[in-house]
Amino acid sequence: MPFTPAQLAAQMQNPHPFPPPNLATWSASTLANQAPMLAAYFAYWDGVQNWITLNGGNGAPFGWDNLIGLEKNGQQVVLLGPQQTAPFNDAFNDVRTHRGSPGFRLFQASQAAERLIRFLPNL
């Protein structure tokens, strides 16, 4: 069963059955104080990924280059250019790439999620 941009945004804002994200706190974090928050963020992020897979995704990592399951008006979403690919890249592909690295920046990852949530209604 596919999901719409609005459903993805809602899931990213309140990922049932997972605890609601603390995007505002995570966005205000710094490299110096992010360590205690990383586990909760990654649980949130993994929960969103799992929801995508369970709701129409193909099990492969979701991101700008794999939007399987994301449909608008019954049609698979196709991103047109960097203005549309960038929010997905920042919120999914970049997080996956930098996850676990010593330079991972929680504030950037959570700000990217917030930007994508605001962007999704414009697809």
Q: Residue 71: beta bridge partners?
A: 76
Q: For the chain, what is the domain count?
A: 1
Query: Can you say how many angstroms the Cα of residue 41 is from the centroid of all Cα atoms in its chain?
Result: 11
pLDDT of the residue at 1: 83
SS3 at position 3:
strand
Say how far apart CA 28 and CA 89 lie, in whole Å. 21
38-66 pLDDT, tens per residue? 999 999 999 999 999 999 999 999 999 99
Task: Give the structural domain span for 114.
Answer: 5-122
pLDDT of the residue at 38: 96
Q: Which is higher by pLDDT, 110 or 15?
A: 110
72-121 pLDDT, tens per residue? 999 999 999 999 999 999 999 999 999 999 989 999 999 999 999 999 99
